[in-house]
A = this chain, B = another copy of it.
Amino acid sequence: MTSRLRVTVWGENVHERENPIVREIYPDGMHATIAEGIAEQGDFDVRTATLHDAEHGLTEETLENTDVLLWWGHAAHGKVSDKVVERVLTRVWQGMGFIALHSSHYSKPFMRLMGTSCSVTWREAGEKERLWVCNPAHPISSGIDRYFEIENTEMYGEPFAIPTPDEIVFISWFEGGDVFRSGCTWKRGNGKIFYFRPGHEVYPIYYHPTVRLVLRNAVRWAAPDPEKWIDACPQIPADKAPEPLTIKGPRIHKEGEAGFR
């Protein structure tokens, strides 16, 4: 880990190209605005990547040099290559941080990390959202008082079909009467994962100063530990067992054979 965190913001970049409302708000793409919000304070080296780049911009080399990956997708989840998804998972298990934004609850990497359907209920009415802090001393909510508000947003409501989070940082109250677990953490392998709800494409949510603060906090929180967990499934030969062993009975596997998968 370098002292400057290396951040990659992945954006699907579909709505921005196809929908003039979205393009007007995010003329350079949502990924660019998210990246700008992270880079504006602190020691971050931020790059972006999109669906349309070769290998979606997530080559082995890029991921190897990424400490924290943020992911925004919505209309084209199904177009993301499974090979790239496997690559992302491998890096998360090694320790790379992963931050799933808004509609990325249905993205392939998030669903694969969760192992659940990740469904929500939703309503698009430009209503008010108030995000309550559930742990006022958590690094991800640092600098926020008891809550913060987003004036106009899409609603996501419970049930949110996720495994029990390790910690809930934010729960949302919606003007229309719903609630949602809007900021949740998990660990998979040695990778820290954060889901953050705000971010609908037709509102300028990634310009909101508190949303940007949360993104920066979350990137710092999700930074990798100094060591990597390199996945392996080693056969330990009988003569290398910590305790002396006499081999008994039949065997199928040869010494030095790789694990089945």
In the bound complex, do residue B247 and residue A125 qualify as a contact, i.e. CB atoms below 8 Å apart? yes
Q: Which of A234-261 contact B (CB under 8 A)?
A: 234-238, 241-243, 245-253, 259-261
Indicate which residue in B138, B161, B233 contacts A122 across the interface (CB closer than 8 Å): B233
Question: When chains A and B are docked, how far (Å) is the Cα of A234 from the Cα of B95?
Answer: 34
* Nearest residue, chain B, Cβ from A141: B227
Q: Which of A96-138 contact B (CB under 8 A)?
A: 103, 106, 112-117, 119-127, 130, 132-138
The answer to whether A207 has its CB under 8 Å from any CB of chain B is no
Question: When chains A and B are docked, how far (Å) is the Cα of A119 from the Cα of B179?
Answer: 21
- Which interface class (under 10, 10 to 19, 20 to 34, 35 or more) fits A? 35 or more
Question: When chains A and B are docked, how far (Å) is the Cα of A134 from the Cα of B116?
Answer: 14
In the bound complex, do residue B103 and residue A232 qualify as a contact, i.e. CB atoms below 8 Å apart? no
In the bound complex, do residue A121 and residue B236 qualify as a contact, i.e. CB atoms below 8 Å apart? yes
Q: Which of A51-65 contact B (CB under 8 A)?
A: none
Chain B residue contacts of A13, Cβ below 8 A: none
Indicate which residue in B19, B137, B161, B234 contacts A121 across the interface (CB closer than 8 Å): B234
Interface centre among A19, A125, A152 (most CB of B within 10 A): A125
**In the A-B complex, the 3 residue pairs with the closest CB atoms:** A177-B242, A126-B248, A126-B249
Q: Chain A: residues with CB nearer than 8 A to chain B?
A: 15, 19, 21-22, 74-75, 77-78, 89-90, 93-95, 103, 106, 112-117, 119-127, 130, 132-139, 142, 146-147, 149, 152, 155, 157-161, 163-168, 171-179, 181, 186-190, 201-203, 225-238, 241-243, 245-253, 259-261
